[in-house]
A and B are shown apart, each in its own frame.
Chain A
Amino acid sequence: MTTPSLRATPSAPATRTPRRIAFNSRVSRWDLKLSPYLYISPFFILFAIVGLFPLLYTGYIAMLNFDPILHTGTFVGFDNFVWVFQQRQFWIALRNTLTIFLLSAVPQIILALLIAAVLDSNLKAKTFWRMGVLLPYIVMPVAVAVIFSQLFGDHYGLINHVLGFVGIPPIAWHTDTIPAQIAIATMVNFRWTGYNALILLAGMQAIPRDLYEQASIDGAGRYQRFFSITIPQLRPTLIFVIITATIGGLQIFDEPQLFDTGGLAGGANQQWLTLTVYLHNVGWFQNGSFGRAAAVAWLLFLLIVLIGLINLAITRRIASNENRKLS
């Protein structure tokens, strides 16, 4: 990646006589002017059709009593939103989404930071460890969900079995709300911790080493250096990791959808019903209503924007405080 081979294919070197530009200069001028736009157009066209339009149209459909067979709907204003707000399940799903998000994002980022710090030190067999922490990333979330829903089995699951050794009574992972959400958060963390650790590691390696040397001379210990140099210097990378964890985490679907097989997804008492699973249930199950599902989608969109902004504000503040302390 670092050393690209820049061998331009020789395009007929034999005929290197100066060309008459006038011959097809008109074509050439259009070529020169239009080509740049032509080359970037596939992205913009596709984004307009499958990204922007659906997102905006979702807002419109949310105002319709949409008939899935006739493909038309009557305008009902905010009725779908009112309906959604009146559903107990929606509020449970909102709460679950937030708790599962916190249960996964917070430990995941802390753990990733620690792993990255170790990977950043003078390790032996660097590549081996880096590949090792990345391994779970290639296991598809559906597979992770099936494996972990059995590891977290209520009766014979390995995790309850191991907990039994240290005297902890079996936990009802598939019945109780918090344990179920911990199990789902564990699946997310399994797949993403190593990935985020590598991103943070790259950020750490970009920190000038002189800063550390200077701090060592000034008598700062390893932990002091970590908190007063590494964390503040890592701020942009941390913000990125947190933002992507937010966008992904709040839309979590695969793991809760497949955590259990029986009945409507999300658990008998909605213990692990998330907003995206709820959206799917509302739109595609038993008298599914696209209008109501669209309303849920828009609310989730607003939630993501809101939490993203809160995240940004918090990270900014923490990082700038750290900077002030440093200087």
Chain B
Amino acid sequence: MTAPTLSPTAISGRASAKPRRRRRGSADISSRPGFLGYGLLVATLLGAILPLYWAFLIASGDSSTLNNVNMPWWPGGNFLANAWKVVSNERVLFFKAVLNSLIVSTVVSASVVFFSTLAGYSFAKLRFRGSRGLFIFVIATTAVPTQLGVVPLFIVMSQLGWTGTLGAVIVPGLVTAFGVFWMTQYLSTALPDELIEAGRVDGANMFQTFWYIGFPAARPAAAMLGLFTFIATWTNFFWPFIVLDPSNPTLPVALSQLQANYFVDYSIVLAGVLLATLPLLILFVVAGRQLVAGIMQGAVKG
């Protein structure tokens, strides 16, 4: 249900195929972007930044800033005060929401990475009857909109007494088809069979071989899978909104509460929105390069 919508791009291709090295010939020089090209990029960049900056302008003002037609283009000094109103609100439970989101996203990412690597290792490197058919089945399930199973899933969760608990959000996301596909693609080219055989000859059992040889080899792809799963889980709203209640929210659920409670003062609402964006923004600054590489690797040869 919380299944991240990663790009299971290279369904027919190899995730780890090396991008073609570009030749720096005459063709490339002629394709240096012109004024229009740079213009498009600058416009895109402004389109990405301006809404956030505008939100910051409102969030650093007071309740009248939103309705001020001649809004200053420089932030005011109220951001911290507004942020404090968000985190201290008793109905929004901001800190609890951050903690819950951290728990859910971390557990889900760790679990997806572990089980996907395990399954990917099996599909890529172990020989067993039916492996091809089962792998095709895994690929096929990436196209199934499982989100539409919410009604029975909700019924099951309420019968188990899990509604309102983090378990209801965590369990459906513990392993994803995309993760299995991604790790299989990576390991089938990145891990030489000889290494596994060497491990077997040394007397390691199957799981030891996986743990000491397969898993370390999978680390780069596993890190990326973890990163994307974390983001997808952190931003997920539909299912948590249905199954959790406002007294035990994840961050997106708390934000929807914030809007409902404070809809007259958007300086506070938007301060909360920016606070909630901050963790992933930091992640973006630290790992943005990896995010770009991950999306592009998933798509190479598409």
Contact = CB atoms under 8 A, between A and B. Distances in A.
Contact of A40 (B17, B119, B217): B119
B195 interface: yes
A202 B300 contact: yes
Interface string A134-172: 111111111110111011010110100100000000000
Given A39-B122, A46-B175, A71 B159 contact: yes
A240 B122 contact: no
Contact of B234 (A2, A31, A122, A140): A140
B146 A54 contact: yes
Contacts of B206: 31-32, 35
A293 interface: yes
A59 B241 CA distance: 23
Contacts of A31: 205-206
Interface stretch (B29-37, B76-84, B88-96): B29-37
Contacts of B49: 135
B212 to A, nearest CB: 4
Contacts, number: 364
Contacts of B118: 39-40, 42
Contacts of B66: 150, 153, 156
A301 B148 contact: yes
A34 to B, nearest CB: 9
A19 B274 CA distance: 61
Contact of A1 (B25, B44, B175, B220): B220
B152 A54 contact: yes
B235 A140 contact: yes
Interface in B109-156: 115-116, 118-119, 121-123, 126-128, 131, 134, 138, 141, 143-156
B25 A6 contact: no
Contacts of A300: 145, 148
Interface residues of A, number: 118
B156 A54 contact: yes
A198 to B, nearest CB: 4
A8 B211 CA distance: 10
B295 to A, nearest CB: 4
A146 B273 contact: yes
Interface residues of B, number: 142
Nearest to A27: B205
Contact of B299 (A140, A203, A279): A203
Nearest to B15: A1
Nearest to B275: A143
Contacts of B25: 209, 213
A199 B299 contact: yes
Contacts of A121: 28, 31-33, 37
Given A35-B206, A134-B292, A139-B277, A7 B216 contact: yes
Contact of A71 (B71, B155, B207): B155
A135 B284 CA distance: 8
A9 B212 contact: yes
Nearest to A222: B31
Given A11-B208, A42-B118, A50-B172, A142 B291 contact: no
A327 to B, nearest CB: 21
A40 to B, nearest CB: 4
A4 interface: yes
A300 B196 CA distance: 46
B237 A4 contact: no
Interface string A15-46: 01001000000001001110111011011101
Contact of A47 (B177, B284, B299): B177
A173 interface: no
Interface stretch (A91-99, A243-251, A318-326): A243-251
Given A33-B128, A222-B31, 9 more contacts: A1-B297, A8-B199, A61-B151, A121-B33, A141-B237, A201-B296, A243-B143, A283-B154, A304-B145
Interface of B: 1, 5, 7-9, 11-13, 16-20, 22-23, 25, 27-33, 37-38, 40-41, 44-45, 47-49, 51-52, 54-55, 58, 66-69, 71, 115-116, 118-119, 121-123, 126-128, 131, 134, 138, 141, 143-156, 158-159, 171-172, 174-177, 180, 190-192, 195, 198-199, 202-208, 210, 212-213, 216-221, 224, 231, 234-235, 237-238, 241-242, 251-252, 255-256, 259-260, 263, 266, 269-270, 273-274, 276-277, 280-281, 283-284, 288-302
12 contacts: A39-B121, A42-B119, A42-B174, A122-B28, A138-B280, A150-B266, A198-B295, A206-B300, A209-B23, A209-B25, A283-B154, A293-B151
